[in-house]
Structure 1
Amino acid sequence: MADCIFCGIVAGDIPATKVAEDERTVAFMDINPATRGHALVIPKRHATDLLEISPEDLAACAQMAQRVAQKAKDALGADGVNLINSCGPDAWQTVFHFHLHVIPRYKGDPLKLPWVPGPGDMDEIKAAGEALAA
């Protein structure tokens, strides 16, 4: 879809700090992170939300999210991980291309869900992305 920011990332028209990719999915760093290492997993094929995504793409996204979550623990020292999907505006969905938030959690971090997205430190986002991609 021409006006979808995540489709632009898939197409390579919009820059992103990618941490993993396979034939069905892309994982990249969230530029409004809730915690260090917050990544998003999306299907390459556009689907508006959880109710529209194909079962095959949903399974591929879940598997990629599991891999990214493991990397968050291994590479960033996360103590836990939240996996979040928002389906519809009333559930806090703001980008209408299905995505899973992979949010590393750290003992004592102050994050309360839902978080209020705000711009992150781009150098820190890049460094965490490089650690997850390694």
Structure 2
Amino acid sequence: MVDCIFCKLISGELPSYKIFEDDKYLVILDRFPTVKGMTLVISKNHLSSYFAEVEDEILSEMMALSKKIAKQLDSKLEGVLRTMLEVEGLDVDHLHFKLLPAYENEKIDHLKRLELSDDEMEEIRKEIVGESRALV
């Protein structure tokens, strides 16, 4: 899809802060997060963001991957109580799951967006994956 921001991220046309990638999925930090470490699990195939229209097998794969990434966020980001999963897809009509780390004594305001520099984004990425380019 020509105007799809996620397709542009997948193709490399736009830069991203990669956490994980395989032949089916791209996992990146959200560039405009509501909380530190907000992560997107994105299907590389341009599919509807409405989960009820997506094949069960794809949803199962994405859920399993999301679970692995959530455990990584929980263990690597300081102060995270647990990571929440959100599947709404109203902003971008391309299948994706949002992983939102829940921090102690911090409420998530879905209308708020953190303004983070490239250096801050890269530092968060390194907290999650270490010095490697991405999790494998």
For this structure pair, what is the TM-score category when the shorter chain's length is used for normalisation? 0.7 to 0.9
Q: Which residue does 2:96 correspond to in 1?
A: 99
Report % sequence identity: 25
Summarize the Cα distance change of 1:110–1:60 in structure 2 as closer, same or farther, 3 Å threshold: same
1:30-72 CA-to-partner distances (Å, cap 9, x unmatched) read 1111111110001111112113333332222112211111111
Secondary structure of 2:14's aligned partner:
coil
Give the Cα–Cα distance (whole angstroms) in 2 for the partners of residues 109 and 119 of structure 1: 14
Please state how far the C-alpha of 1:119 moved relative to its aligned partner: 4.8
Are 1:25 and 1:60, in contact at CA under 8 Å, matched by a contact in 2? no
Are 1:29 and 1:129, in contact at CA under 8 Å, matched by a contact in 2? yes
Give 4+ residue runs of structure 1 displaced > 4 Å after superposition.
none
**How many equivalent pairs are there?**
127
Structure 1 residue 80 displacement after superposition: 1.1
TM-score (norm 1): 0.85
Conservation of the 8 A alpha-carbon contact between 1:48 and 1:98: yes
* Alignment root-mean-square deviation, CA: 1.6
What's 1:90 paired with? Answer: none
Q: Is the 8 A contact 1:26 1:41 kept in 2?
A: yes
Give the Cα–Cα distance (whole angstroms) in 2 for the partners of residues 104 and 60 of structure 1.
21
When residues 121 and 37 of structure 1 are mapped into structure 2, their CA distance, relative to the original with a 3 A threshold, is same
TM-score normalised over the length of structure 2: 0.84
